Structure 1
Amino acid sequence: MQIKDFVVDQSLKELTEHRTVVLPIACYETTINQNINGYIPLHWHDEFQFVLVIKGEAVFQINEENIFIQEGEGLFINSGCLHMATDKNDTGCTYICLNVSPHFVLSQELYTNYVDPFIQATNLSYLHLNTDESWARNILEAILKIYQMIQQKPTYYEIDINIQLTVMWKNLITNGFPLEYEQLDMLKSHRIKKMLNWIHTHYARKILLDDIARAGQLSRSECCRYFKRMLKKTPWNYVTEYRIQKSLLLLQQPESTVTDVAYQVGFNSTSYFIGQFKKSMNMTPLAYKRIKRTDSLKR
């Protein structure tokens, strides 16, 4: 299964249901450039995410850091961490994505001591699963086994998945990574999510820097520093990119016009919208609309 688009709420929390029929997990292949945006946009979710790159190369941004992942390697992304992914050098990067509810990793009796401390740690937004380390190789092998079991559904596969998750988690927490708990880092994460939530609620109308800063209880200059440090872009760049993202589905509606869409997503000039869209998508909104119309007729 390929998820080409996923729904997020105003705070960027992903709303895709991460579960199979009976298990609170989801495991599927993702080809980055097949996403509606051409990349995996910034989002977060409560589930742990394990990644195994099976083709090509990718750059993942997790909170403030960029991590290069090549074929055969992977990632553990902690609960609640902002992340996005882009295909590096147009390699057709495809990865297996395993999202797991933290409460399913271990039994309730073990959760407090062996899961929750890792969720709360402020220095564990991710772990690079490098094949040089035996513990990481064990996790990568287990991701592949779980993916195959979900595809094939052998007898008692749900129990075998549970066993594999236990193996993965034991390998992860016994690799010697020291945990830290910094109140300032927790506050930073809370503030950036509050500002993103404000943007996603109000993107369709006029947005002022003062409004964004106020949502995060910051000054204008500190707000800009937060965005630059954590998202590698200015607040205005982020607002523009988000508006472009929101325009994509609207442009696919047969009755929509470029001008209508521009104003619906918050641009006050059609020509400016066209220029920013072309800069982001390497084509005009009208060309994008025509391509999507042709695609829909082929189905």
Structure 2
Amino acid sequence: MQIKNFMVNQNLKELTQHRTVNLPIACYETTINQNLHGYIPLHWHEEIQFVLIIKGEAIFQINEERIVVRKGEGLFINSGCLHMAEEKNQSGCLYICLNVSPHFVLSQELYTTYVTPYIQATNLPYVFVKANEPWGKNIVDAIIAIKQLIEQKSQYFEIDITMQLTVIWKNLIFNGFQPEYVQTEIVKSERMKQMLSWIHLHYAEKIKLEDIARAGGLSRSECCRYFKRILKTTPLNYVIDYRIQKSLIHLQQAELTVTEVAYQVGFNSTSYFIEKFRNSMNMTPFAYKKYKANDCN
């Protein structure tokens, strides 16, 4: 299954249901450039995530860090961490994505001791999984095994999945990672989510820098530092990028003109919308609208 449009709420929390019929787990393949936006947009979810690149290479951003992951390599992304992904060098990146509810990793008796400390740690937003190291290979092999188990659904496959999850988690936490808890990091993450949530709720309105800063309880200058440090952009440039993302959906509606779409997503000038859209998408909104119309026929 390929998820082509990541649906998120105003808090950037992904709305996709990460589960099979009976299990709080989802495993699917994702080709990054087939996503509606051409990349995997910024989002977060309560599930932990394991990624295994099976073709090409990708750049993942988790919170404020960026990391290149290549074919055969993997990544653990912790619960609640903001993350996004784009393919590198037009490599046609394809990866296996395994999302698991933290409560499903181990039994309840072991959860408090062996899961909670790690998903609450502020120093563990992600772990790079190297397949050429024994612990990394064990994780990679278990991800592949879980994907096959879900596809084949042989007798007792649910039990086999839980066994593979135990292998993954044991190899992850027994590799010397010591959880740390820094209150300022927790506060920083929450403030960032509050500002992004406010933008996603008000993107179609006139937005000022002080409005965004107020949502996070910050000064204008500190707000800019947060966005520059975490998202590598300015607050107002993020607003423009988000408006462009939202316009992609509206442009696929035949009855809407480009001008109508521009105003619906918060631009007060059609020419400015066209300029920013071209800079972001390497085509005009008119060309994108025509392309998507032909794609549907």
Unaligned 5+ segments in structure 1 are none
* CA-CA distance at 1:132 after TM superposition: 2.9
Matched-pair identity in %: 71
SS in structure 2 at match of 1:89: coil
Letter in 1 for 2:96: I
Inter-partner Cα distance in structure 1 for 2:190 and 2:92: 34
Q: Which residue is 2:140 aligned to?
A: 140
Q: Which residue is 2:261 aligned to?
A: 261
Inter-partner Cα distance in structure 2 for 1:292 and 1:152: 35
* CA-CA distance at 1:125 after TM superposition: 0.1
Inter-partner Cα distance in structure 1 for 2:165 and 2:48: 11
Q: Which residue is 2:177 aligned to?
A: 177
SS in structure 1 at match of 2:29: strand
Letter in 2 for 1:109: E
Inter-partner Cα distance in structure 2 for 1:212 and 1:68: 30
Inter-partner Cα distance in structure 1 for 2:256 and 2:150: 40
Inter-partner Cα distance in structure 2 for 1:89 and 1:215: 37
Report the RMSD for the aligned CA atoms in angstroms: 0.6
Runs of 4+ in 1 over 6 A off after TM superposition: none
Inter-partner Cα distance in structure 1 for 2:218 and 2:94: 39
Letter in 1 for 2:212: I
Inter-partner Cα distance in structure 2 for 1:47 and 1:212: 28
Inter-partner Cα distance in structure 1 for 2:283 and 2:29: 27
* CA-CA distance at 1:49 after TM superposition: 0.3
Q: Which residue is 2:22 aligned to?
A: 22
Inter-partner Cα distance in structure 2 for 1:224 and 1:124: 25
Contact 2:6/2:41, CA 8 A, preserved across alignment: no
Letter in 1 for 2:242: Y
What TM-score, normalized to structure 1?
0.98
Contact 2:37/2:245, CA 8 A, preserved across alignment: yes
Deviations 1:68-102 (A, max 9, x none): 00000010000000000000000000000000000
Unaligned 5+ segments in structure 2 are none
Deviations 1:38-88 (A, max 9, x none): 000000000000000000000000001000000000100000000000000
* CA-CA distance at 1:131 after TM superposition: 1.7
Q: Which residue is 1:229 aligned to?
A: 229
- Say whether 1:87 aligns with 2:87: yes
* CA-CA distance at 1:150 after TM superposition: 1.1
Inter-partner Cα distance in structure 2 for 1:68 and 1:134: 21
SS in structure 1 at match of 2:169: helix
Letter in 1 for 2:146: I
Q: Which residue is 2:294 aligned to?
A: 294
Inter-partner Cα distance in structure 1 for 2:184 and 2:234: 21
What TM-score, normalized to structure 2?
0.99
Letter in 2 for 1:121: A
Letter in 2 for 1:47: E
Contact 2:48/2:100, CA 8 A, preserved across alignment: yes
Count of equivalent residues: 297
SS in structure 1 at match of 2:89: helix
- Say whether 1:107 aligns with 2:107: yes
Deviations 1:144-198 (A, max 9, x none): 1111111111111111111100111111110011211100100100000000000
Q: Which residue is 2:46 aligned to?
A: 46
* CA-CA distance at 1:265 after TM superposition: 0.3
Contact 2:6/2:40, CA 8 A, preserved across alignment: no
Inter-partner Cα distance in structure 1 for 2:231 and 2:6: 20
Inter-partner Cα distance in structure 1 for 2:201 and 2:158: 39
Inter-partner Cα distance in structure 1 for 2:292 and 2:130: 38
Inter-partner Cα distance in structure 2 for 1:256 and 1:97: 35
Inter-partner Cα distance in structure 2 for 1:90 and 1:148: 28
